[in-house]
A and B are shown apart, each in its own frame.
Chain A
Amino acid sequence: NAGVTQTPKFQVLKTGQSMTLQCAQDMNHNSMYWYRQDPGMGLRLIYYSASEGTTDKGEVPNGYNVSRLNKREFSLRLESAAPSQTSVYFCASSRVYSNQPQHFGDGTRLSIL
């Protein structure tokens, strides 16, 4: 049982390039989330999908877009990468949106030069 799988694990981009971070969960969870973690800080929510077919902005959505492709997959896209987006990105899922623990992937370490 893989849980939450994120790809790629590492990526280096140049300013202005675009890329998509992939996330898939095999726990039949309804809700999925994208967070970023910067040094010495907790996680900040970028976007979330409370259920298949819905997406909503979190605390720091600027510069990102998301797609809930199906119940299993939730992707995060950087259209024009900026150095300020250098971070570790975590995808998470939960059975339902509230009052549930979240299950995390191991992260994508993204550097923007």
Chain B
Amino acid sequence: SQQGEEDPQALSIQEGENATMNCSYKTSINNLQWYRQNSGRGLVHLILIRSNEREKHSGRLRVTLDTSKKSSSLLITASRAADTASYFCATDLIQGAQKLVFGQGTRLTINP
């Protein structure tokens, strides 16, 4: 079964609004990463947050990590049409051969 589960599976908002996506996981991690995938393209790394960090920012992106709840959230502020994409969380596991385990993604649509 997938280590990371994103919620919601799909999200549609108006341009300028904030978008929040959540990720839950099951086992202990070294870090958690967020990636973006535009239609027909490969994944692009957004942010890596280590297990001893609680919050990280990059431009309009804010990621939080709660290891006690085994959950993370990605907030995109002041959304733009160009933010339309699928967003995946990936957990870097402490143990196991498959070190980076991807969730199923959240499909984000920004309406103009």
Contact = CB atoms under 8 A, between A and B. Distances in A.
Contacts of B56: none
A102 B30 CA distance: 15
A34 interface: no
Interface stretch (B64-72, B77-85, B96-104): B96-104
Which of A43, A58, A99 is packed against the most chain B CB atoms within 10 Å? Answer: A43
Nearest to B4: A42
Interface residues of A, number: 26
B92 A99 contact: yes
A4 B48 contact: no
Contacts of B33: 101-102
A42 B105 contact: yes
B68 to A, nearest CB: 21
A76 B45 CA distance: 23
Given A4-B42, A90-B42, A106-B41, A58 B31 contact: no
B41 A97 contact: no
B105 to A, nearest CB: 6
Interface in A94-113: 97-107
Chain B, interface size category, equals 20 to 34
Contacts of A104: 42-44
A79 B99 CA distance: 26
A54 B41 CA distance: 28
A106 B42 CA distance: 4
B42 A42 contact: no
A56 interface: yes
A57 B42 contact: no
A29 to B, nearest CB: 13
B88 interface: yes
Nearest to B107: A40
B29 to A, nearest CB: 10
Interface of B: 2, 4, 30-31, 33, 40-45, 48, 50, 88, 92, 97-100, 102-105
14 contacts: A4-B42, A42-B105, A43-B43, A45-B98, A56-B97, A58-B97, A59-B98, A97-B99, A98-B99, A99-B48, A101-B45, A104-B43, A107-B40, A107-B41
